[in-house]
Amino acid sequence: MTTYRLGVLLGDGIGPEIVPASVRVVDAALAAAGAAPVEWEELPLGASAIEEHGSALPATTLEALAGLDGWLLGPHDSAAYPEPYRSQLNPSGALRKHFDLYANIRPARAFEGGRAIAPRTDLVMVRENTEGFYADRNTFAGTGEYMPTPDVAVCLGIFTRPAVERIARTAFELAMRRRKKLTVVHKANVLQLSSGLFKRVCLEIARDYPEVAVDDFHIDAMTVHLLRRAADFDVLVAENMFGDILSDMTGELAGSLGIAPSINASDDRCMAQAAHGSAPDIAGKGLANPIAMVLSSGMLLDWLGTRHDDPRLTEAAVRLEDGVRAAVRGGVSTRDLGGSASTDAFTDAVVERVAAG
């Protein structure tokens, strides 16, 4: 059996609560699936790293991550960092850019026993993660924004065929593993060159996947369709900003951003990261919902299992999600889902159910 080496980046706010909870659940899922235990390596990142290393993302952390199979990234509170760190690219964006983590995969699946606005939601947002209207991740230097005068601000939107091709293939491969339906989200009617390129290339790639049913919608119409009939959609693919906005919306449709997981992946590395923020207002109080971080960790297991053709890891990923859903279905949940369980108590319930199978 292969032993995988994974990094642990606690981050800020509730990160030091939900990331260790995720490690516990991953360990339980691996044991239940008969997989080899993970070798965990904790690395500095965030406000504590600024205090100890003079950087929110120390060079030693980047060097260590380059030798690992993947890692868990806790949320960061970069808006609260002192200058000059606050104005720099935040740790998450810096990691995505440094390791070219071009695919941000964000599922939205409602929980039985949860508080879903659209209870039949079961879809995945595939977000291009390196360019689009978040040019800071693609420009050679700087943020992609500039002000020629104090009263004029200009922002770059960057679209390239290679970037669109690879995110389109990621989305189609995922659709092949699911219900074989894919929706391209764009604004090609107005942004005919940039968003038009995104749409055209996605539809070109569709020819290589004749089994997948493909449609496309403008971003504004897509928000309405999701509100009215989220259950009709399977895999959605969009550029960076559109994907960011829509995935927050679909997370709420499924119940809460507190249950919204994600991974950021390249061809050879994967970072598990909850879609929500650091929630400093509840940090250290035992109130945080660890579901999004736990499910993100399960997605990392599934990504590793698929990439390395390791069925024990994919089984562990299934056991992990089943355990989380069984806990919520059984009436155990944190305050944001209407329950009263603490972070630790909810984690205990998930570990128990994962172990029981």
Burial (CB count within 10 angstroms: exposed 0-12, middle 13-18, buried 19+), residue 40: middle
- Last residue in a domain, options 198, 227, 254: 254
For residues 243 and 262, state if they share a domain: no
248 flagged as catalytic: yes
For residues 228 and 296, state if they share a domain: no
- Last residue in a domain, options 231, 254, 277: 254
> Is residue 111 a part of any domain in this protein?
no
pLDDT band at 69 (very low <50, low <70, confident <90, very high): very high
Out of 122, 248, 344, 348, pick the active-site residue: 248
For residues 138 and 11, state if they share a domain: no
For residues 68 and 27, state if they share a domain: yes
Domain span at 180: 117-254
pTM of the model: 0.93
Contacts of 229 (CB under 8 A, 6+ apart): none
135: pLDDT strictly greater than 80: no
For residues 189 and 79, state if they share a domain: no
pLDDT at 329: 93
pLDDT at 239: 97
Q: What is the pLDDT of residues 225-277, one digit of tens each?
A: 999 999 999 999 999 999 999 999 999 999 888 899 999 999 999 999 999 99
End-to-end CA distance of the chain: 21
> CA angle 109-114-115, nearest 5°?
95
139: pLDDT strictly greater than 90: no
Q: What is the pLDDT of residues 275-319, one digit of tens each?
A: 999 999 999 999 999 999 999 999 999 999 999 999 999 999 999
pLDDT band at 337 (very low <50, low <70, confident <90, very high): confident
For residues 250 and 121, state if they share a domain: yes
> Is residue 146 a part of any domain in this protein?
yes
For residues 121 and 250, state if they share a domain: yes
For residues 248 and 265, state if they share a domain: no
348 flagged as catalytic: no
> Is residue 109 a part of any domain in this protein?
no
Q: What is the pLDDT of residues 26-38, one digit of tens each?
A: 999 999 999 999 9
344 flagged as catalytic: no
144: pLDDT strictly greater than 90: no
> Is residue 142 a part of any domain in this protein?
yes
> Is residue 106 a part of any domain in this protein?
no
> Is residue 17 a part of any domain in this protein?
yes
For residues 246 and 267, state if they share a domain: no
Contacts of 197 (CB under 8 A, 6+ apart): 159, 161, 164
Out of 134, 199, 302, 310, pick the active-site residue: 134
> Is residue 314 a part of any domain in this protein?
yes
244 flagged as catalytic: yes
- Last residue in a domain, options 212, 237, 254: 254
Mean pLDDT of the chain: 95
For residues 319 and 350, state if they share a domain: yes
pLDDT at 292: 96
Q: How many domains does the chain have?
A: 2
Out of 234, 244, 302, 322, pick the active-site residue: 244
Report residue 303 as tokens: 């990504």
Tell me if the bond preceding 84 is cis, omega within 30° of 0. Answer: yes
Out of 208, 220, 232, 268, pick the active-site residue: 220
268 flagged as catalytic: no
Share of residues in the chain with pLDDT > 90 (%): 89
Classify residue 110 by its DSSP letter: P
pLDDT at 255: 86
pLDDT at 338: 87
| Residue with the larger pLDDT of the pair 135 and 335 | 335
Out of 4, 85, 187, 199, pick the active-site residue: 187
